Amino acid sequence: MKIVRRIGVPPSARGSASGATCPDVFELSDGNFAVIGTEATAELRKELPADAGVADYERIVIVNRETLLRAKSDIPDA
Protein backbone atom coordinates (compact mmCIF):
# COMPACT_ATOMS: atom_id res chain seq x y z
CA MET A 1 0.00 0.00 0.00
CA LYS A 2 1.29 3.45 -0.94
CA ILE A 3 0.15 7.05 -0.73
CA VAL A 4 -1.02 8.06 -4.19
CA ARG A 5 -1.88 11.71 -3.61
CA ARG A 6 -2.87 14.34 -1.10
CA ILE A 7 -6.59 15.09 -0.93
CA GLY A 8 -7.06 18.84 -0.61
CA VAL A 9 -4.37 21.43 -0.07
CA PRO A 10 -1.11 21.08 1.87
CA PRO A 11 -0.99 22.30 5.49
CA SER A 12 1.09 25.33 4.43
CA ALA A 13 -1.89 26.53 2.33
CA ARG A 14 -4.05 26.31 5.47
CA GLY A 15 -1.78 28.52 7.56
CA SER A 16 0.73 26.04 9.03
CA ALA A 17 4.10 27.72 9.48
CA SER A 18 6.08 24.49 9.07
CA GLY A 19 3.52 22.43 7.13
CA ALA A 20 4.85 19.36 8.90
CA THR A 21 2.51 18.68 11.80
CA CYS A 22 -1.04 19.43 10.70
CA PRO A 23 -4.11 17.37 9.81
CA ASP A 24 -3.98 15.91 6.32
CA VAL A 25 -5.88 13.48 4.07
CA PHE A 26 -4.31 11.10 1.53
CA GLU A 27 -5.65 8.68 -1.07
CA LEU A 28 -4.01 5.25 -0.96
CA SER A 29 -3.12 2.90 -3.80
CA ASP A 30 -5.88 0.49 -2.74
CA GLY A 31 -8.54 3.25 -3.01
CA ASN A 32 -8.83 3.83 0.75
CA PHE A 33 -7.94 7.05 2.53
CA ALA A 34 -5.47 7.78 5.32
CA VAL A 35 -6.04 10.66 7.71
CA ILE A 36 -3.61 12.48 9.98
CA GLY A 37 -5.45 14.01 12.90
CA THR A 38 -5.49 14.43 16.65
CA GLU A 39 -6.11 11.15 18.47
CA ALA A 40 -9.31 11.41 20.53
CA THR A 41 -10.51 7.83 21.04
CA ALA A 42 -10.68 7.92 24.84
CA GLU A 43 -12.49 11.25 24.82
CA LEU A 44 -15.05 10.45 22.10
CA ARG A 45 -15.69 6.70 22.45
CA LYS A 46 -18.45 7.33 25.02
CA GLU A 47 -20.08 9.84 22.64
CA LEU A 48 -20.56 7.34 19.80
CA PRO A 49 -24.13 6.34 18.90
CA ALA A 50 -25.25 2.86 19.97
CA ASP A 51 -24.73 1.45 16.46
CA ALA A 52 -21.08 2.59 16.19
CA GLY A 53 -17.94 1.17 17.73
CA VAL A 54 -14.15 1.34 17.67
CA ALA A 55 -12.20 -1.89 17.25
CA ASP A 56 -8.96 -2.45 19.18
CA TYR A 57 -6.97 -1.62 16.02
CA GLU A 58 -8.95 1.57 15.24
CA ARG A 59 -8.67 5.13 16.55
CA ILE A 60 -10.99 8.12 16.45
CA VAL A 61 -9.10 11.11 15.07
CA ILE A 62 -10.14 14.72 14.82
CA VAL A 63 -9.53 16.57 11.56
CA ASN A 64 -10.33 20.25 11.63
CA ARG A 65 -13.20 21.49 9.49
CA GLU A 66 -11.03 23.51 7.09
CA THR A 67 -8.89 20.46 6.24
CA LEU A 68 -11.91 18.36 5.32
CA LEU A 69 -13.75 21.12 3.45
CA ARG A 70 -10.65 21.92 1.40
CA ALA A 71 -10.34 18.19 0.57
CA LYS A 72 -13.97 17.84 -0.53
CA SER A 73 -13.43 18.76 -4.18
CA ASP A 74 -10.67 16.13 -4.52
CA ILE A 75 -12.73 13.24 -3.10
CA PRO A 76 -14.09 11.08 -5.93
CA ASP A 77 -17.85 10.49 -6.15
CA ALA A 78 -17.36 6.77 -6.67
- Whether residue 26 contacts residue 6, with contact meaning beta carbons closer than 8 Å, is answered with yes
**Is residue 69 a contact partner of residue 27, using CB atoms and an 8 Å limit?**
no
pTM: 0.78
Contact 60, 53 (CB under 8 A): no
The answer on pLDDT for 47 being more than 90 is yes
What pLDDT score was predicted for residue 18? Answer: 67
Please check the confidence at residue 17 and state whether its pLDDT lies above 70.
Answer: no
**Mean pLDDT, residues 32-57 taken together:** 95
